[in-house]
Amino acid sequence: MKPLRFLGALLAVLTVLTACSRKPAVKPAVAKAQPPMPSYELRLGRATFEHYCQTCHGETGAGDGFNAFNLDPHPRDISDPAFQKKKTDAELADAIQRGGAGVGLSSLMPPWGRTLSREEIDHTILYIRSLRKKSP
Amino acid sequence: MPLRRLFALTSVAFLLVLAISPAKNFFRPYRAIQKRYAALGVARARSAQQAREYENRPVAIHQFWLTGLDNRVDRCTTCHLGVADTLMRGAPSPFTLHPWTPHTPAQFERFGCTSCHSGQGPATTEGQAHGTAADAGPPLLPVSYVEAGCGRCHSTVTVPDAPLLSRGRAVMERYGCFACHSVRGREAYRSEAPPLASEPVKTGAEWLRRWLTKPRDVDPNATMPNFQLTAKEIEELSHYLFGQNVPEELARSVKAAGEEPAGDAANGKRLFSESRCISCHTVEGKGQGSAPELSKVASAASRGWLLAYIRDPHAFNPRTPMPRYHFSDAESRDVVAYMEDEFRDFDAPKDILEPLRVNRTLAEAGEKTFRRYGCFSCHAAPGTRASEKFGPDLDGIGDKRAAFLDFGRRTDLPRTLTSWLAAKVESPRSFAKGLKMPSYGFSPEETQAVVTALLGFGAQPVPEAYRVVPASLPAPIPAGRVGRLVDRYRCLSCHQIGDRGGDISTAPLTFAGSKMQRDWLVDYLVLSFSIRPILTERMPIFRMPREEAVELADAMETLFVDPRVPEDPFQGRPASDGDPAEGERLYATLGCRACHIVGKSGGYVGPPLTDSGTRLKPGWTYTWLKGPQRWRADVRCPDFGLTDRDALRLTGYLATLRQPPAQAKGAK
């Protein structure tokens, strides 16, 4: 019994020594004031939105892009909280992929399913979600 | 007996010491982390089966071994266990799912982690792996600069899905960084800055003083940085520049032009707007902005110089992107008369264009100053040449160890490469006295973009299989008369031909011969009009003689063709056989009018199609409709996935929309 206890003690001491051998990492000074940046996926989504969607849907998604006045019906306000709440991501993706005509709305919204990849559409939806206006 | 006991004890002690190294491994922090991950997995699992899988995962080191990429070993996934696990979307660090990138999750095995993020792949403790421990290797790249990793393999200026890196590289091209600093792949870079030989007959001492003090204050489009010169240095430089011998021919043409009678400013105004100067220049900030702001140009350059320059810009600066318009002598006088009337700095002193009486001693001192600041790197002045780059190499700057950087007076900075680079780009002279790099006045976003681009310059090139180099496409620009015309009108300043040319125009000329009808093209070159009225950057009216237009159009017809475009998609049958009525119905149901104008209605995004039958070859229209992105990856026209039959019907309809070019212009 005695040697066993001795061995146990020895093991404990060694364990403690091993644990202590690692010095805690030195914290370096962190670069100050990095410009705040949206996530990579959100930035990609914004780029896609600005390139393909903004001309009609407008910068804020309010449906007031420079080409919007040529369209009848006008593009809807996709930043509207009620609209955003009603539509699931899957529904938005479906409308983007199949276009207005594909989901029973205006054919002036073209189908993007063959032009944009699934990821591009997902990122764009992420960005559209960020356009949601604060409820009044 | 005691000896035996001693022997037994030492044996046991020896065994225990041997056991320490596995035991050490047993107490590594990653084990606890893997257990936490398993618990999280069980909590998030969607089925009992899945939960069991998380539970039964053995605790072990995970790694990517990249035999093709310098034998890298990345063990990051030992702790970052959820990078490819969709159940871990939004999970707490370090388990969260890696964001989508063009290479993840599909290509983790090919790229590993450190090829983008840097840091120490083989390490298995946080401090060592992230490089935060005192004795660790180069640290992890802060996530805001992570696009620098793309730059290690991609050497094109624009890198898809890396907007920050692309912007940084574009800024570096525009501001001429590579004129002073050499970097692999950009050895041949040459600045477009004007040679300074004609300065004495161009401007005055006061204007030059203002310019040298702070170029951006004189012209917001200026790419010349602020050299923070002292008043004495400015005076010396002025004497040097005014003391140069102007090439005789230029001096003569400027002098003769200065003595010509004044032109008609009203006609000049019309010519100015037809010539679409703001496709490159700006007037009070309105315009494309790659060329100088013009609203004060008559207070920057003498009348004679302006006139001589507009008539033949290439004689003054062989590398300028500016085309040589085909103005008559009277027309160029009119344009300059308009500029003299309107484009003036009305607050400037009267003598702003008075030349300087040169003092030889000061001029000699000025020449030394000119050399000391490396001005010759961008401005080829007589007697100077840039045999080697003036600044240090940038190869490997992204792999510099922070310990080797000279922070000098900047004791305020954290000792990291990123903060050093950001400070260097922001205020280059703040590190020590006597530094020469000028200040560019970049915005914080531009600084971040440039630092990202810099971090992308690695010490060693990546293995061949990983390199993405700029596409090399044939640019069939003939020598001789056509080549001279392409050069005279500087088509390549805006349009692309093969892998050459600028990106101001959205219409590459590489397949122009397959796209546009010859007769339309001839008329268009003679009297260009805006195909897309919403654009600021439009094709200028060069006042090109008809013979030249014919010559260019014929050359395009022969040389700039693409074998993917069929000569005749209707295969000998008339276009009306393609069922244009059905095509018109398709045009309506597909919603083409959202973007295109036909007749009086339609959108402003794409080009109007009222004259598509006169402008476009049916083969082109057909191939375009079958997949617009084949011709330009980022084009906004969606791919509708039309069947051959539908594409042909739509082509047939568009081919019936005919209108002579003159009328198309009138309709605007």
Q: Write the DSSP assignment of B337-399 as a string of letters.
A: HHHHHHS--TTS-GGGGPPP---HHHHHHHHHHHHHTTGGGTS--TT---SS-SSPP-TTGGG
Percent of chain A residues topping a pLDDT of 70: 72
Q: For B437-454, what is the mean pLDDT? A: 95
B593 contact residues in A (CB cutoff 8 A): 108
B133 contact residues in A (CB cutoff 8 A): 25-26
User: CA torsion sign, B649 to A109 to B530 to B664?
Assistant: positive
Same domain, B591 and B544: no
pLDDT of residue B178: 94
Same domain, B209 and B344: yes
Model confidence pLDDT, tens digit, residues B61-93 = 999 999 999 899 999 999 999 999 999 988 998
Local confidence band at A21 (pLDDT 50, 70, 90 cut-offs)? very low
Return the minimum-mean-pLDDT range out of A60-69, B340-349, B624-633, B652-661: B652-661
Q: Given the DSSP bridges, would you call strands B64-66 and B72-74 parallel, antiparallel or unpaired? A: antiparallel
Report DSSP letters for B349-360, one per residue: -GGGGPPP---H
Residue B506: CATH number of its domain: 1.10.760.10
User: Domain boundary at B333, B358, B377, which?
Assistant: B377
Q: Among all chains, which residue has been given the structure tokens 């003595």?
A: B259
Same domain, B513 and B647: no
Structural domain total, chain B: 4
Which residue in chain A has the smallest CA separation from B130? A25
Other CB atoms within 10 A of residue A43 CB: 18
Same domain, B78 and B226: no
pLDDT of residue B38: 94
B315 belongs to a structural domain: yes
Same domain, B134 and B272: no
Which backbone phi and psi does B282 adopt, to 5 degrees?
-125, 155
Q: What is the predicted ipTM?
A: 0.84
Return the minimum-mean-pLDDT range out of A35-44, B215-224, B225-234: A35-44
Residue B466 pLDDT > 80? yes
Query: Cα(B242)–Cα(B197) distance, rounded to whole angstroms?
Result: 9
B458 belongs to a structural domain: no
- Coil, strand or helix at B293: strand
Same domain, B51 and B127: yes
Domain that includes residue B493, residue range: 480-559
B567 belongs to a structural domain: no
Query: Cα(B117)–Cα(B120) distance, rounded to whole angstroms?
Result: 9
> Hey, are the CB atoms on B132 and A14 less than 8 Å from each other?
no
Local confidence band at B191 (pLDDT 50, 70, 90 cut-offs)? confident
| Interface list for A 31-70 with B (CB within 8 A) | 31-32, 34-35, 37, 39-41, 43-44, 47, 51-52, 55-56, 66-67, 70
Show Cβ contacts of residue A69 under 8 Å, excluding neighbours closer than 6 positions.
Answer: none
pLDDT of residue A26: 41
Model confidence pLDDT, tens digit, residues B358-385 = 999 999 999 999 999 999 899 875 555 5
B56 belongs to a structural domain: yes
> Maximum CA pair distance of chain A?
94
CB of B151 within 8 A of CB of B462?
no
Q: What is the 3-state secondary structure (H, E, C) of B75-107?
A: CHHHCCCCCCCHHHCCCCCCCCCCCCECCECCC
Residue B303: CATH number of its domain: 1.10.760
pLDDT of residue B27: 83
Model confidence pLDDT, tens digit, residues B523-548 = 999 988 777 777 778 899 999 999 99
Local confidence band at A30 (pLDDT 50, 70, 90 cut-offs)? very low
Query: Cα(B65)–Cα(B321) distance, rounded to whole angstroms?
Result: 49
Local confidence band at B549 (pLDDT 50, 70, 90 cut-offs)? very high
Query: Cα(A13)–Cα(B618) distance, rounded to whole angstroms?
Result: 87
Model confidence pLDDT, tens digit, residues B97-133 = 999 999 988 899 999 999 999 999 999 899 999 998 8
> Hey, are the CB atoms on A25 and B132 less than 8 Å from each other?
yes
Pick from B159, B155, B148: which is nearest to B468 by CA?
Answer: B155
pLDDT of residue A13: 58
> Hey, are the CB atoms on B99 and A41 less than 8 Å from each other?
yes
B165 belongs to a structural domain: no
Same domain, B218 and B330: yes
B278 belongs to a structural domain: yes
**Better pLDDT: A27 or B224:** B224
Choose among B24, B100, B127: nearest Cβ to A119. Answer: B100
Cβ burial B599-631 (10 Å sphere, 16+ → b, else e): eeebbbbbbbbbbbbbbbbbbbbbbbbbbbeeb
Choose among A26, A37, A115: nearest Cβ to B639. Answer: A115
Same domain, B367 and B261: yes
Crossing angle for the helix pair B303-311 and B329-342, nearest 10 degrees? 140
| Interface list for A 96-125 with B (CB within 8 A) | 99-101, 106-112, 114-115, 119, 122-123
> Hey, are the CB atoms on B144 and A37 less than 8 Å from each other?
yes
* N- to C-terminal Cα separation, chain A: 76
Q: Cα-Cα-Cα-Cα dihedral of B41, B42, B43, B47, to 10°?
A: 110
Q: Which domains does chain A have, with CATH numbers?
A: 40-130 (1.10.760.10)
Whole-number average pLDDT of chain B: 91
Q: For B393-400, what is the mean pLDDT? A: 92
Same domain, B283 and B373: yes
Same domain, B220 and B288: yes
Cβ burial A62-76 (10 Å sphere, 16+ → b, else e): bbebebbebbeeebe
pLDDT of residue B571: 84
B17 belongs to a structural domain: no
Same domain, B48 and B90: yes
Report DSSP letters for B218-256, one per residue: H-TT--S-B----HHHHHHHHHHHHTS---HHHHHHHHH
pLDDT of residue B202: 95
Q: For B658-664, what is the mean pLDDT? A: 64
DSSP A53: I
The structure's pTM equals 0.88
